Structure 1
Amino acid sequence: MTGSNASASFDDPDERPPADPATALRMIAEQQAEAARRLTPNMLLYYWPWGLAWLIGFGLFFLRFGPDGRVLVALPAWLPLTTLLGLLAVAALLTGLVSARAYGQVTGESARRGAWYGISWGLGFATMTTVLAQVSDRLPDELSTLLWSGVMVGLTGALHMAGGAIWLDRNLFTLGAWISVTNVVGIVTGPGWHALVVAIAGGGGMVVVGGLVELRRRRPTPALPERGTR
C-alpha cells in the first residue's frame, strides 16, 4: 500500500522528482533567481523619483536663485523650496513602499532593521529642518539657500549609504556616494551653482543610471546548459 501511495503522489508530472542532477540544479537555480527577484527592490523606483525630484526642484532653485544673486526666471521665492520638499516627500514615500514590498516577507532582525531605518529618515529630516529653520533667517538669502540644500542633500546621501551598508546593497551605497560627492562639488562651486550641479549631475545622473539599471535587470538570465551540451 505504501508503494502504491508513493507512486500515486507523483502522477502529476510537475510533482515528480528531477530525472537527473542537471535538471535538479537547473530547477534550484531558477527557484533561487525567482526568490532573489521577489526580494530585490526595483531600483528604477529608487533612482527615478529622487532623480526627477532633484532635477526639477534644484532646477527651479537655480532659475530663481542664480549665481551672484541673479534671478534668471522671476518665480515666486517660495516656489523652489516648496516644490523640492513636496517632490522629496513623494520620493521618500515611494522608497518606503518599494522597500516594504521587497522586504515585507522578511521577518526578525531584518524587519527591525528596515523599520528603524525608515524611522531614521523621518527623525533625521525633522531634526535638520528644525535646526535650519532657527539658523537660516540670520543669513543672507544666497547662503541660507546653500545651507538648506547642502545639508538636506548631504543627509540624503548619508542615509542612502547607511542603507547600503545595512543590507550590503551595492546599488544603494553607490547612489549615496554619488549624491555625497555631487553635493560637495556643488558646495565648493558656491551659491547658485550648487543647485545647477545637483540638478544636472545629481538628478540627471540618477535618471540615467536608473534607466541603465532597469535595462540590466530586464536582461534575461542565461540558463544552465542542458546535460550533455557544451
Structure 2
Amino acid sequence: MTSKDDESIFGDPGDALRLIERERGNTMRHVTPDPRLMYWPWGLTWLISFGLSFLRFGPDGRTLVAMPAWVPMTALTALLIAAGIFTGIVGARSSRDIAGRSSRQGLMYGISWSAGFTSLAVIFGRVSDSMPEPLLGLLWGGGMVALVGVLYMAGSAIWVERDMFVLGAWISVVNVIGVLWGPGWHALVLAVAGGGGLLVAGLVGWLRRR
C-alpha cells in the first residue's frame, strides 16, 4: 500500500529529487538574509562618507567643496551605526530559526568583527598624536578597510561562499591601490570602487538568490 502511494505521488525518482532540491532552496532563502539588505547599507555608507571625505580633504590638501572639517567623520560615524543596526536586525531575523553549529559560527564571526575594529581603534588612537594629519586619515581608513577585506575572505572560508571571497579580495585590492595613491585619492577609490563593489555584490547576490 505504501509503495502504491509513493508511485502515485512521484512518477519517477527524478520527481522526488526535484522536490527535495526545490524545498532545500526555499529553506535556504528563508534562513539567508537578502544580500541587498546586507550589502547595500554598507555600500551607501562608503559611497557617501568617503565621498564627503574626498571633497573636503582632497589630494595635495585641496578642499574641493567647502564644508566644516567635522562633517565627513560625523557622517561616517552616523552611517556606520545606522548600517550596523539595520544589518544586525536583518541578520537576527533570518537566523532566529537556526540553531547548533551554524548559529555558533555566526555568533563567533560577529564577535570577530567587533574585536578586530576595537583593537585597531585602540592601536591607532595611541599613535595618532605622533602622525601628520594627512597620513592620519590614511592610517585609519586604510587599516579599517584592510580588516573588512580580510574578514570577508575569512567568512567565505567559514560558509564556503565564493562571492564573499571575491568581494573581500576586491576590497583589499582597491584599498591597497588607494593607499599607494595617497591621501585624498584613497577616499575617492573607497567611495567609488569600494562602495560600488558592495552595491554590486548585493545586486549579484540577489539575482542569484532568485
Q: Calculate the TM-score normalised by the size of structure 2.
A: 0.88
Give the secondary structure class of the aligned counterpart of 2:202: helix
The one-letter code of the counterpart of 1:59 is: G
Contact 1:96 1:118 in 2 (8 A): no
Report the AA paired with residue 53 of structure 2.
F
**180, 184, 187: which one pairs with 1:195?**
187
Could you give the per-residue CA deviations for residues 91-149 of structure 1, whole angstroms, max 9, x where no partner exists? 23333333333333222222111111111111211121122122122211110111110
Q: State the partner residue of 1:134.
A: 126
1:111 match: 103
Question: Does residue 41 of the first structure (1) align with residue 30 of the second (2)?
Answer: no
Distance, in Å, in 2 between the alignment partners of 1:187 and 1:168 is 29
Are 1:64 and 1:80, in contact at CA under 8 Å, matched by a contact in 2? yes
Separation in 1 of the partners of 2:8 and 2:113? 48
Partner residue, 2:81: 89
TM-score, scaled to structure 1: 0.81
Q: Which runs of 4+ in 1 moved over 6 A?
A: none
Mean Cα displacement is larger for which, 130-139 or 177-186?
130-139
Asked if the contact 2:148/2:168 (under 8 Å) is kept, the reply is yes
Aligned to 1:169: 161
* Residue of 20, 27, 49 corresponding to 2:11: 20
- Higher mean alpha-carbon deviation, 174-183 vs 82-91, is at 82-91
Structure 1 match to 2:48: 56
**Structure 1 residue 49: deviation in Å?**
1.1
* 1:193-224 deviation digits (Å, cap 9, x = unpaired): 00001111111232234234323433xxxxxx
Task: Between the two structures, name the one with larger relative contact order (CA 8 Å, sep ≥ 6).
Answer: 2
Residues in 2 aligned to 1:104 and 1:178: alpha-carbon distance in whole angstroms: 31
2:115 maps to what in 1?
A: 123
Structure 1 partner of 2:138:
146
Q: Hey, what does 2:66 align to over in structure 1?
A: 74
Match of 1:228 in 2: none
Structure 1: distance between partners of 2:45 and 2:151? 17
Q: Distance in 2 between matches of 1:70 and 1:44?
A: 35
Q: Kindly indicate whether the alpha-carbon contact (under 8 Å) linking 2:167 and 2:201 is maintained by their aligned counterparts in 1.
A: no
DSSP 3-state at the match of 1:75? coil
> Whose Rg is larger?
1
Runs of 5+ consecutive residues of structure 2 not aligned to the other structure: none
Percent sequence identity is 53
Q: Distance in 1 between matches of 2:138 and 2:129?
A: 13
Shift of 1:192: 0.6
Distance 1:55 1:110 in 2: 32
1:159–1:209 distance in 2 versus 1, CA, 3 Å: closer
Deviates more, 1:81-90 or 1:157-166: 81-90
Q: State the alpha-carbon separation in 1 of the partners of residues 9 and 141 from structure 2.
A: 58
What displacement does 1:17 show? Answer: 5.9
- Tell me the SS of whatever aligns to 2:9: coil
How many residue pairs were aligned?
207
Aligned mates of 2:182, 2:193 — CA distance in 1: 15
5+ residue gaps, structure 1: 219-230
